[in-house]
Structure 1
Amino acid sequence: MSAANSLSIKSHSYDDEINDFRHRLQNPDAAIRRIAVLDLIDVAADEHAPLLVEALQDPSAEVRLEAARALEAFENDDSVAALIDLLTDEDTEVREAAAHALSELKDPESAILLLPRALDERPFVRVAILRALRELRVPESLEPALAALTHADASVRREAISVLGYLKQVRALGLIMQLAASDIDPEVRRAATGALGFATDDSVLPALLAALRDAAWQVREEAATTLGKLRLEAATADLITTLDDAYWQVRLRATRSLGRLRSAVAVTPLLQTLQHQISNLRKEAALSLGEIGDAAALPALLIAEQDPDPEVRKAVRLALEQIRAGA
């Protein structure tokens, strides 16, 4: 068989496959159309993306849903544009699938299609666009993210903060600190507190210390975490105070951050945490004591080798190795 004939047969076979899918996607039975979409997912060829885009217009929400999920694997302009349009679908699950597919975009060129919709006043649409832009990390996302910080919908403000955090724009720190301190929504305050972790100096210290006293424990937990990430030694005393927080999750983060700060001042309060009834706290205390590396912790750690929790004992052994190695 000649090469030309072989190519002709392959082309004919491919055309037959496309026609078969198109025929099934036009079947009156929605269940058959849905199975056709699922079969297209298994093939996963770029040439099939237009068929999936067409399926986004299907009268059946189940078919549109599967098509939206399938398009996560395609990043051509037609797919992205169709998914953006699907953000206004009448079906909630379909809208969420489109939003998730957009959030999986990896090609920065997709931002060209996303940015014009970044100021859409419909909260769900704006949240989805901002979430997709967050992953792409393009500088052009800065202005729409800044504009969204004052949006009436808390979910929009949260996504805007995430975009700014990923961009690590120092210019936005002042606004983010304001949100961390005064936004009415605790999840927005939490997101803002975490975003302060991209600071390059201690200018955010007052905001983070204030967040350690926030009424919402999730905000306090985030503040304790961020202080450790930034290794702000001036926060040591406040983190030690936080070891008495009413929520063990906050105490755990404070314990971990004290280890990252490696301050000998924290050894005594951490030794008290080493005896806490919650095993996760004992484990973190041991790990932090190992990071600090102060030999004063050795007697208590030797006793803790008999802890009833195997994870705590493992952390204790690691801490003992670290301290002995540094002696």
Structure 2
Amino acid sequence: MSLPRLVTLLAAALLLSGPASAKDKGPKKPEPTPEQRTEIRQLMRRAVGGRHEARRSEAATKLGRMGPVAEMAVPSLVQALKDRDVSVGCAAANALGRVGVYSKAAVKGLTATLSKGRDPLLRASAAEGLGMIGALARKPAARPLLSALTHKDQDLRREAAKALGLVSEGDEKLTKQAIKAIQPLLSDDEKRVRRAAALSLVRLGDTSPKLVDLLKATVTKSGRAIVEERRDASAALGKLGAAARSAVPTLIAAVREEAQINKAIPYAEQRRAQHDEFRRAAVVALGEIGDPRARAALERAKQTSALAEAAEAALAKLPPEGEGEEKSDSEGESDDD
């Protein structure tokens, strides 16, 4: 084949492949198989026409578990938001957040329910669904989510704060607005609202001392938070980096905290594993903060199999030994005693 002919063929191939490459950018919507379509249609009918509320709720939940592949169910789930039984509407809202990640119709239905839903729990579920969808819901959902932060119902306040943290990411103007609106919830009467607000503020980049103090209180055993909440608060402190230096003693205490679990109780091993996850989150956070006071505690953590790998990585992030080490870890633990 001559060189000019080869060049011509290559150019043609590039022209043909160009538009296809542009179209390939970004994630593609998953398409259901024929078998999945049949199942989705059956569940759609049951979600809106099932005789008992438990059956309707179960159908909506199953659709949600299928994720975006079940997007064809969005119209039925939007209809189910108006079900006479609130539990069905809540299940539909959660499902829409899972199947409707590419769907403006899902966003529209959830936003309308958030704004005008007849029950606070249903509105809270709609806020949760919008948070799951994320950036696609940003523009239509921002105003009603901001408004819901001051609602008298604690579940709605909590879910609105969580959703704002998810939909605002990537939008500088809305992020500033959301931080300003969520910050007062750090003083909310309800503990779960305060914690949701704190985690959202971390996601949005807030580093206020009050935020750090609330997260520290959640990590401590005396804060009476469940272990998953303590784990999430530890991770959040790590995301704050150097701004969370005051939390170093709290996190050191968390790393050292042995699980007090009776082997005879159900799910004892599962509970121990959850506690190890919490301690591991504290180890990672100490590495992200990068304070040399954590060195001794991290060295000891290397001797525990569940923490060893995380501790090794955290130690690698600390400054060279002797640099900036004003206190040992034991000298800084009075915060938690």
Normalized against structure 1, the TM-score is what?
Answer: 0.62
Task: Point out the more displaced range, 169-178 or 240-249.
Answer: 240-249
The alpha-carbon deviation at position 251 of structure 1 amounts to 5.3
The answer to whether residue 79 in structure 2 is matched with residue 82 in structure 1 is yes
Q: Which residue of 1 aligns with 2:184?
A: 178
Q: Indicate the SS of the match to 2:82.
A: helix
The answer to whether residue 150 in structure 2 is matched with residue 132 in structure 1 is no
Count the aligned residue pairs: 248
Does the aligned pair in 1 maintain the 2:63–2:95 contact within 8 Å?
A: yes
Q: Which residue of 1 aligns with 2:244?
A: 235
Residues 191-229 of structure 1, C-alpha deviations (whole Å, 9 max, x = no match): 112112233464x24421343135344566544322211
Residue type of the partner of 1:166? L
Task: Point out the more displaced range, 74-83 or 118-127.
Answer: 74-83
Residues 151-200 of structure 1, C-alpha deviations (whole Å, 9 max, x = no match): 333222221111111023221213323223x2233222221121122334
Higher relative contact order (CA 8 A, sep 6+): 2
Does the aligned pair in 1 maintain the 2:216–2:250 contact within 8 Å?
A: no
Q: Indicate the SS of the match to 1:207.
A: helix
Q: Distance in 1 between matches of 2:206 and 2:73?
A: 41
The answer to whether residue 200 in structure 2 is matched with residue 195 in structure 1 is yes
Task: Point out the more displaced range, 103-112 or 77-86.
Answer: 77-86
The alpha-carbon deviation at position 69 of structure 1 amounts to 4.4
- For the pair shown, which has the larger CA radius of gyration, 1 or 2? 1
Q: Distance in 2 between matches of 1:194 and 1:159?
A: 12
Q: Which residue of 2 aligns with 1:52?
A: 44
Matches within 5 A, 1:5-154: 42=35, 44=37, 49=41, 52-53=44-45, 56-61=48-53, 63-65=55-57, 67-69=59-61, 71-72=63-64, 73-75=70-72, 78-86=75-83, 88-89=84-85, 92=87, 94-95=88-89, 97-104=91-98, 105-110=100-105, 111-119=107-115, 120-137=117-134, 138=137, 139-154=139-154
Q: Indicate the SS of the match to 2:196.
A: helix
Does the aligned pair in 2 maintain the 1:243–1:251 contact within 8 Å?
A: no
Q: Indicate the SS of the match to 2:50.
A: coil
| RMSD over equivalenced CA pairs, Å | 3.5
- Shift of the 64–286 alpha-carbon distance from structure 1 to 2, 3 Å rule, reads same
Residue type of the partner of 1:211? L
Q: 1:291 aligns with which of 301, 317, 329?
A: 317
- Shift of the 223–177 alpha-carbon distance from structure 1 to 2, 3 Å rule, reads farther
Taking only the aligned residue pairs, the percentage that are identical comes to: 26
Does the aligned pair in 2 maintain the 1:71–1:101 contact within 8 Å?
A: yes
- Shift of the 283–89 alpha-carbon distance from structure 1 to 2, 3 Å rule, reads same
